[in-house]
Amino acid sequence: MIAVLVFAAVEAYRIQSSVSVQHLEIYRHYVEQDATVAILRRNLWLAGTYVRDFFIQTTPEQGRQLREQLQQLRAEDDAALDKLARMNANRQVLENIRKNLAEFRAIIEPLPATMLNEPDERQFEFLQREIVPRRGDLYTALLSIQAADQQRLQESEREFAAARRSAANRLLIILGLCVLLAMVVARASLRHAENLERKAELHFREVEQARSELQELSARLLEIEEEDRRNLSRELHDEIGQALALLQIEISHAHGLLPAQPEAARERLRRARQLAEQTVQTIRDISLLLRPPLLDDLGLAPALQFQLEGFLRRSGITCEFSEEGVSEDLPDSVKTCVYRVVQEALHNCEKHSGARNVRVLVRQLADCLTAEIADDGCGFLPVDPGAPSRRRGLGLLGMRERASIAGGSLVIDSAPGRGARIRLSIPLAAPHKEVIA
């Protein structure tokens, strides 16, 4: 189709150029021939005028001037006749003009000698008998050339119009072919586009279904993980912790029942009691790390306060915690999401940032709960969430996944040398899934 369009454009340009050249050539030929005939008519009129002037004042000086004027008119007439011959004027009419013009010259050129001393009556009679009729014949011949030229112009215009119509018809055929091909290509393109759109829509539905299934799977896995943590924490605290506490009590009782025993036995019992105390504390720490009972018993704010105190003891980084209007009866998914995001952010701060101060602010508004964690560490360059997970890090990926499952959003603002600020926002009006995000 493009090739046909190019050919149509070239053909249209060629037709336009050919028509323009042909049109200009026709009118140029007509104008030149008309101008040449006008020269002959003018010279014929001037010849009669010069003869009349000689008859009015018949003197030798006027005769000499008449000869010069007639010679000049002869030269111009010969040049004009040669030009008409080159322009393919009617040969017969042109020969007739040459003959009449030669006879007219043969009559008027001897006048300065033959009519010098003739009376006025004889001069007037000669003028009426010889000059006027011959000049009329020449005028008629010149008009016939002009009429023939006009007829040729009309014929040329008719030929030009016919050629233009033929070219226009040919161009219309080419354009019709272009339109037909364009319709075929457009129909094929639309059909192909519809097929691609259907495939894209099907693929999109498949991707959305896979994404929904993966999100449900992720939520279920996190729910199972949190439930396992809760059960393991309860088992550690209730079963093993109580058993070790009873062991500690029994060791204390045994230590009291041996006042008279050797010092070595007492030392072993004392070390056994210390080991039991350390084991109890380790189990409590593990239980708190898995699932802090404060989060279920007292709410989000006390659990975060306890978490920051433990972070300060471990890292030595100054912590500032503040909360505004945080309710105690928040949904479990919201509490757990905020707690885990803060926990991961503090872990990254302790491990990577080199910060000296950390600030945590939790604020409950009418329609959402926000949590902001900021530090003055070295900062980092955030990566586009659409980038592959191996480039983003599992910590940030887990935080975003938790926020997404809870129905919220996570914004990370950081740059090298500028610290880091993480803002979590979870809507409270929408229903929340009872899962750990």
Full DSSP string of 105-166: HHHHTTHHHHSSS--HHHHHHHIIIIIHHHHHHHHHHHHHHHHHHHHHHHHHHHHHHHHHHH
Which strands, in side-by-side order, build the sheet including 368-375?
A: 318-324, 357-364, 368-375, 420-427, 409-414
In order along its 437 residues, the chain shows pLDDT tens digits of 676 667 666 766 666 666 666 667 777 777 777 788 788 778 878 887 887 777 777 788 888 887 888 888 888 888 887 887 787 666 777 777 778 778 777 877 887 777 777 777 777 777 777 777 777 777 777 777 767 767 776 777 777 777 777 777 877 887 787 788 888 888 898 899 999 999 999 888 888 887 777 777 677 667 766 776 666 666 666 666 666 677 767 676 666 666 655 576 667 677 777 777 777 777 766 766 666 777 777 888 888 888 888 888 888 888 899 988 888 888 888 888 898 899 889 988 888 888 889 999 999 988 899 999 999 888 888 765 555 444 445 678 788 888 888 888 999 988 888 889 999 999 986 444 443 33
Find all residues with CB under 8 Å of 41, minimum gap 6, and list them.
139, 142
For residue 420, the cross-strand partners are 375, 414
Give the number of other Cβ atoms within 10 Å of residue 395's Cβ.
14
Question: Could you give the maximum distance between any two Cα atoms of the chain, in Å?
Answer: 193
Find all residues with CB under 8 Å of 270, minimum gap 6, and list them.
255
Distances (CA, A) of 161 to 17, 22, 78, 79: 15, 11, 36, 34
What are the structural domains of the chain? 2-183 (1.20.120.1730), 295-427 (3.30.565.10)
Round to whole Å and give the CA distance between 289 and 88: 115
Which one, of 221, 231, 368, lies nearest residue 291 by Cα? 231
DSSP state of 418: S
The answer to whether residues 385 and 411 touch, using CB atoms and an 8 Å cutoff, is no
Round to whole Å and give the CA distance between 112 and 55: 9
Q: Which residues of 189-198 are buried (b: 16+ CB within 10 A; e: fewer)?
A: eeeeeeeeee
Full DSSP string of 159-221: HHHHHHHHHHHHHHHHHHHHHHHHHHHHHHHHHHHHHHHHHHHHHHHHHHHHHHHHHHHHHHH
Q: Which residues of 416-430 are buried (b: 16+ CB within 10 A; e: fewer)?
A: eeebbbbebbbbbee
Round to whole Å and give the CA distance between 430 and 408: 10
The answer to whether residues 403 and 426 touch, using CB atoms and an 8 Å cutoff, is yes
pLDDT at 423: 93
Which tokens go with 51? 């003869």
Q: How many CA atoms lie within 13 A of 73 on its CB side?
A: 24
State the distance between the two ends of the chain, measured CA to CA, in whole angstroms. 58
Which tokens go with 415? 């740059």
**Is 363 buried (19+), middle (13-18) or exposed (0-12) by CB count in 10 A?**
middle
Round to whole Å and give the CA distance between 32 and 408: 91
Which one, of 301, 307, 304, 308, lies nearest residue 327 by Cα? 301
Find all residues with CB under 8 Å of 363, minimum gap 6, and list them.
323, 324, 325, 326, 369, 370, 371, 372
Helix (H) or strand (E) holding 11: helix 2-56
Question: Cα 363 to chain center, whole Å?
Answer: 44
The answer to whether residues 19 and 163 touch, using CB atoms and an 8 Å cutoff, is yes
Rg (CA), the chain: 59
